[in-house]
Structures are given as C-alpha cells and as structure tokens.
Structure 1
Amino acid sequence: MNKIDISNISGQSMRVFLAVYDEISVSKAALRLGQSQSSVSHTLEKLRGIMGAELFQKSGRGIVPTALATRVAPVLRQIVADLESLGESDDYDPAEDKSPVIIALNGSAMAVMSSRLRETLWETVPFREICLRELGSRDNLEDCLQRQEADLAIVPRLNTYPQTLQHSALYKDRSVIYYDPSQRGPVTTIEDYGSARHAVLDFGGRTKSNVEQQLAQWAINREVCLRVQNVWLMAEALTGSDMITTLPETLSRGPLSHLETCEPPFVKAPFTFDLTWHIRQENSARNLWLRRMVQRSVEGLLAAASK
C-alpha cells in the first residue's frame, strides 16, 4: 500500500468515516451526521482514493470495515478529538459556563454518589443545574456518550471498552448479601444461598452483572423471583420479605441501610466502578474539570466512609 498523505483528509471526512465505522451502516451514519446517504458515500469514495484501498466491504446486506479501516480508525479518532478540543479555551471558567452537568449512571452508583456529587459541584458552582441520568444497562454506554446525552458516565468496569471511550478507575466495591432480619437469618452456606429466593437489579441488556459473572464462575445457580430496575424499589421489595439480594456493599450506607448484610458463601472478587467519557472529550477543558469534580466527590465519599 502506498504511503497515505493525511494532509488530503479533511476533518469532516474523518468524522464521516468514523460515523460509518461506528454505525457499520452508511444510512445510520448519514442520519447521525444529518447528511444524505449519497453525500456520505461520496466522502467514503474520496477517502478510498486517498487511502488507495477499500475501507469497507459488503457483507450480506450490510458492510464491514476492512483491516485498513480497523487500523486507521483509532488514529483518525484521536486526530478528531484533538481538533475538537481546540474549540475550547484553555482557561475554562466553570463559573461562566451555564450549561447543565449531565452524568449517566445506574441505580446503585446513583444511590451512593448523588448527594456527594451535588455537594462537590455546588461548592464550586453554586446551584449549577445537575442532571443525573439513568443509564440502565451498560450496553447503552457507548451510544449515550457518542450521542452526547451525557458528559460522563459511571459504570461497573467492562471486560472490554469500545475504542470510542476512555475510562479511569473511580472506586472499588464488593458484593454483600442483604436481607430483612425480621424475616430470615443470614446466609451461611452455598446450599442456603442456592435455595433462597433472590431479588436482582435488572437494567436490561446482554451484559452480565459482576455477581452473575462470579456465580457462573463457581457454577452456582439461584432462584430469581423478582427483578427491579433501581435500588429504591429493591429496598421496598426486601422489607418484610424473606428474599435476599446480592449488591454492592456501599449501598448499606444508603437506600439499603435498614437491612442487615452478610458475606456471600463463595469467593467474591472486588470490582471497580469506572468514570468514562467519549474520546472526543479527552482534552476538553470542561470535561477535564468535570472529571476532577467527580474524583473529588468520590475522595470525600471514601473519607467519610472510613471514619
């Protein structure tokens, strides 16, 4: 393959390529970009000429990226991110920024962090509008950040992250069993755990929770009797019931504080909650400030928990 002259590739052409690469569809990319399909196809044809090779090839009724496309995608993605960051001033002043702060997270993280996040942000920018958006399944993560529906997201660590996203460790947690002591005693054996009636958080999607992955590893089956979408419903459901649930320990200082906890009767590895953002925001002064605020709020949360 001939050497590629990247100076012939415009920023807009890079965005078109990345949209098609992410969507694996010309029509979906066109919809996302607000362009016609013919315009997107024309840009791809121009890029093919510059690259000297095909970037996508037909597969059934759709398309798939070629090896060349897979190789250049992360390079072009970083270039686009750097170009977009130039639009922001380095001397970002959060007091002058009136746009709301939007953070996507699931119910367990929201229950733990919402108050501390609010306090930390309002110390710097009093009463700035904050939107804590329910993320639901981790399968929604990439679309949520790609479509700029949130500035940041907080999620249990994924086994692998899409190349469009960046992440950093935020805090560690571990699983414990919650139960209503007026209805039952603690779980002490694997047999007891397997025969108990379980309630679980279910955000939909295909990604297994950390607990499900651990249970599969140990070949432990459980009888799930109830699925709910947030921890506040879980707190209500377990009160006055003999059901149990296996959830992060930090919830014992929040919505599940009225329940008793016990250790799971199987080896349980701690798990990490990550702060995630889209790669286009990697060098954004505003996003960097938001990340620092979230990190500071977690530091305060952990310090309070250790007392």
Structure 2
Amino acid sequence: MNTIDEFNIDVRALNVLLAVLDTGSVSAAAVRLGVSQSAVSHTLDRLRQSLGDPLFVKSGRGITPTRYTLQAGPHVRQLVGELRSLSVGPPFSPDEAELTFTVAANDYQRDLLLPPLMASLRETAPGIRLQVMPSGIPNPEMLRKDVCDLVISPHPPAVGDVMQRRLLDDHMTVFYDADQREAPESLADYLQSRHIGILFATGERMALEASLSTQGLSRDVAVTVSNFSGLPAFLKSTDLLATAPYRMKDHLLKGFQRAPLPFELKPFTLLMLWHQRNHEDPAHRWLRQQLIDVAQGLES
C-alpha cells in the first residue's frame, strides 16, 4: 500500500471513483460524467496505482467493488463534499439573489406545497423564480443532468447520489358530493359505488388498486382520469366517489365532503429529493429549508 505522500489524486478522480461505485459500470459512469469510457478507465488505473487496490473486479458481465472500495466510499463521498464546500463562493443573500430553480412535482404535490413556497419567496427573495415541471415517476437522471434542482415525490430514491428529506405525511380518504349522496357506510357500500379512477400518464396506478387486488376485491370505476386535477369536475353534481390524499381537502377538493377509507391502507410520505452535488450549495440549502418550513407549517 502506498503512503499518503505518494498519492496523486484530485477531486475529478474521486468523482470518477464515486460514479463507478454508484452506477456499477464504467460505461454508465462515463455517461453520468459526460466523458469517454477510456477516460474513466484511465482514471481508475491511476487510482489503483495510487491506492494500491484493484478497486473494482470483474463479476460476470459487469464489475463489483472490492472491500476496500466499499469501506472507502463513504469517506471519499464526505471528502468530496467538504472540498466542494470550499468553492461555493460568497455567502448566499436571498434578498439580492437573481436565480431560477426548477422543481419537479406532480399536481398534488405542486398544488399543496409550491404556492405557499412562492408566497414565501415573494416576501424574502423576490429575485428568485420557480419553474415547475411534472415529475412523473422520478428518474435520478433528472437530477444528475440538471433537468431540475428538486423533486417532490412519495418515491424514495434507489441510488446513492440522490439525497432525500421527509417533508410531510398524508393518507388516502374518500371524497364525495354531499348534495348527491351519503358517505359509504361499509366496504361493500364503497365497492358497489361508482368511482373515479386514476391512471397516471406514466402508466402508474395508485397503491389503492394494488391493495384491493391483493385482497381479491375490485370496485366499479366509471371514469378514469390521468391526474388528481381531473377529479373535481367529475365529482361535482354526481354520485361518484374519489379516493385521494386527505390534504387535498384544502385546495383541489375543497368543498367536497370526505369519509375514511373502509379498509386499511398505509399512509405515505412526501419526500424532497436533490442531487448530492448541490447538497452544500448555499442557495440550494436555503431553498430546501424554505420548502421544509412550508411543509412544517402545513403539519402544524
């Protein structure tokens, strides 16, 4: 093993090590970093020589990290983050900043969290603008490639380079027009009623459908829409039921009556996701805290 005085390692080399560790592939790491595969391979060879370890070995058609790499990974990640923090520039001043942040969120998360966030920005950071885009089923490439700065989603990340923070919890409830019908009194009443279903543009259905299916149950879906925003128009002046997040009672489904689900369904958590390269950036940290504050205000 070489001594530390013999190391010839820079931050770019450490980023290559982390990219290969996160993706499990030289080619995928090259795509993420925007360099050639040969450049990644050359950097790994230099790291092997400096660190005195193979770092990655062949496993089937792919590669797998050595024990040394697995143990060193968290320390390398922390070191890279600390080095980045040295070059973030002068302190961030929200009242003087002129920035645009792109936030990916579907209609429920968008309408719940982003209007109050924008109201807060108008007061404290009038030069900061929001660009909102649909998130669909979040893909880490959205954050890796700077398509957006933040994602708000109930789907936790499955990769090591995407960070997460809990915003708030919610659960599903039944909404209906009280001028047209009573609340469903039982599971049988719920299943026999006519419903508004949701099939998202991504092809994903609500977890509700899977829960009913595993119990061998089904409901009568009279109309299907592609997002939660389609519910109010079909719910108003009909005997239909809409099963949706409880917190919609204060915005999208305000004015409709609600009743608890007549069967058990796990609550869910809304998460804020961001890429690790922005973890220590002062402007990004400030914006994330504003969103946390908004979420805490909704829970109080």
> Displacement, 1:293?
1.3
- 1:126 is matched with 126
> Displacement, 1:289?
0.8
Name the CA distance, whole Å, in 2 between partners of 1:128 and 1:219: 48
Matched, 1:221 2:217: yes
Higher relative contact order (CA 8 A, sep 6+): 1
Q: Give 2:151's match in structure 1, choosing from 153, 161, 164.
A: 153
Could you say what the CA RMSD is over the residues aligned between the two structures, in angstroms?
Answer: 3.1
Relative to structure 1, is the Cα distance of residues 133 and 12 closer, same or farther in structure 2, using a 3 angstrom cutoff? same
Name the CA distance, whole Å, in 1 between partners of 2:220 and 2:200: 11
Name the CA distance, whole Å, in 1 between partners of 2:226 and 2:4: 51
Q: Is the 8 A contact 1:215 1:221 kept in 2?
A: yes
TM-score w.r.t. the length of structure 2 is 0.83
Matched, 1:46 2:42: no
Relative to structure 1, is the Cα distance of residues 98 and 193 closer, same or farther in structure 2, using a 3 angstrom cutoff? same
Matched, 1:172 2:169: yes
User: How far does the alpha carbon of each residue in 1:254-283 deviate from its partner, in whole angstroms, 9 at most, with x for none?
Assistant: 112243211001234443322232222222
Please identify, of 261-270 and 222-231, the stretch whose mean Cα deviation from structure 2 is larger: 222-231
Three-state SS of the structure 1 residue aligned to 2:99 is coil
- Structure 2 stretches of 5 or more lacking a match? none
Relative to structure 1, is the Cα distance of residues 201 and 123 closer, same or farther in structure 2, using a 3 angstrom cutoff? farther
User: How far does the alpha carbon of each residue in 1:61-106 deviate from its partner, in whole angstroms, 9 at most, with x for none?
Assistant: 4444444433333332222222222221352112333220222222
User: How far does the alpha carbon of each residue in 1:173-204 deviate from its partner, in whole angstroms, 9 at most, with x for none?
Assistant: 22211234455432232233344445125363
Q: Give 1:248's match in structure 2, choosing from 245, 250, 275.
A: 245
What pairs up with 1:1-307 in 2 under 5 angstroms? 2=1, 5=4, 7-89=7-89, 91-126=91-126, 128-138=128-138, 140=139, 142-156=140-154, 158=156, 162-181=159-178, 184-196=181-193, 197-200=195-198, 202=200, 204=202, 211=208, 219=215, 221-223=217-219, 225=221, 227-239=224-236, 242-302=239-299
Amino acid at match of 1:199: G
Relative to structure 1, is the Cα distance of residues 267 and 89 closer, same or farther in structure 2, using a 3 angstrom cutoff? same
Relative to structure 1, is the Cα distance of residues 293 and 182 closer, same or farther in structure 2, using a 3 angstrom cutoff? same
Name the CA distance, whole Å, in 2 between partners of 1:50 and 1:214: 53
Task: List structure 1 segments (4+ residues) > 6 angstroms apart after TM superposition.
Answer: none
Relative to structure 1, is the Cα distance of residues 106 and 220 closer, same or farther in structure 2, using a 3 angstrom cutoff? farther
Relative to structure 1, is the Cα distance of residues 23 and 243 closer, same or farther in structure 2, using a 3 angstrom cutoff? farther
Name the CA distance, whole Å, in 2 between partners of 1:266 and 1:87: 53
Three-state SS of the structure 2 residue aligned to 1:100 is strand
Q: Is the 8 A contact 1:78 1:280 kept in 2?
A: no
Relative to structure 1, is the Cα distance of residues 52 and 189 closer, same or farther in structure 2, using a 3 angstrom cutoff? farther
Relative to structure 1, is the Cα distance of residues 210 and 69 closer, same or farther in structure 2, using a 3 angstrom cutoff? farther
Between the aligned residues of both structures, percent identity stands at: 31
Q: Is the 8 A contact 1:157 1:274 kept in 2?
A: yes
Relative to structure 1, is the Cα distance of residues 52 and 88 closer, same or farther in structure 2, using a 3 angstrom cutoff? same
Name the CA distance, whole Å, in 1 between partners of 2:208 and 2:85: 38
> Displacement, 1:302?
4.4
Name the CA distance, whole Å, in 2 between partners of 1:181 and 1:4: 75
Name the CA distance, whole Å, in 2 between partners of 1:168 and 1:109: 15
Q: Is the 8 A contact 1:13 1:43 kept in 2?
A: yes
Name the CA distance, whole Å, in 1 between partners of 2:3 and 2:162: 26
> Displacement, 1:211?
4.1
Q: Is the 8 A contact 2:167 2:296 kept in 1?
A: no
